A = this chain, B = another copy of it.
Amino acid sequence: MVQEVASERIAPARMLERKREILLAASRVFRRQGLQATGMRDIAAELGMAVGNLYYYFRDKDELLAFCQQDALGGLLGLARAVRALPAPADQRLYLLVVGHLICLHEQTPGALAHLEVETLSGAWREAVIEGRAEYEEHFRALLREGQAAGRLRPLDDKVTARAMLGALNWTVKWFRPRDETSTTALGQQLAELLLRGVLAPGVELGAPDLALLPDLLAPEEPP
């Protein structure tokens, strides 16, 4: 079975699609038995795939986890750059970023549980992910600073506030089981309302942005 697959030429777009299918199955196993206790054999079994076949897509669990994090991070960074460029008040852009973050995490990149586990990655993978996360956090911090400069947000520590927001968002991976994109968007709106009301300057009204913008904001910058 290994040879059969290895001798095929798989187009990059198809390869990416297959990898995401594998993550989807892996995420089911992670949730059932924890990230640590899950081996490549368990993931292959979940897929009804020979383990040798799975190794064609991912050399080991480390590579699978790294792909999961890079895939999620790539989506989040694309979203953040698109949101930053919108001609809207900083608080409305933050609102979109919060809802979009949840859609990325729960709808676009399966295996989101791994998103929390940077510590489990080995050296080289780990550095790239830490760098990407710092860049992503900086988008939150910049929006918080822009909102303060424009008088729409109260005086606050942008680093602490960005990390508190990311904590509330990322922790959903531990407890939220999305039924569909609508349920994820509804959760995103609740979290956005909590977090945005928490930072608005006195007298500023929370204006919900146009969520119909999200599909475009979430589209990958370059098609795979």
Which residues of chain A have a CB within 8 Å of any CB of chain B? Answer: 34-36, 116, 119-120, 154, 156-157, 160-161, 163-172, 174-175, 187, 190-191, 193-200
Contacts and interface: CB of A to CB of B under 8 A. Distances in A.
Contacts of A119: 34-36
The 4 closest A-B pairs by CB, nearest first: A167-B171, A198-B198, A34-B119, A194-B198
28 contacts: A34-B119, A34-B120, A35-B119, A154-B197, A156-B190, A156-B194, A160-B187, A160-B190, A160-B191, A161-B194, A163-B171, A163-B172, A163-B175, A164-B168, A164-B190, A164-B194, A164-B195, A166-B171, A167-B168, A167-B170, A167-B172, A167-B174, A168-B168, A170-B171, A171-B171, A196-B198, A197-B198, A197-B200
Number of copies: 2
Contact of A195 (B36, B116, B170, B194): B194
Contacts of A164: 168, 171-172, 190-191, 194-195
Contacts of A190: 156-157, 160-161, 164
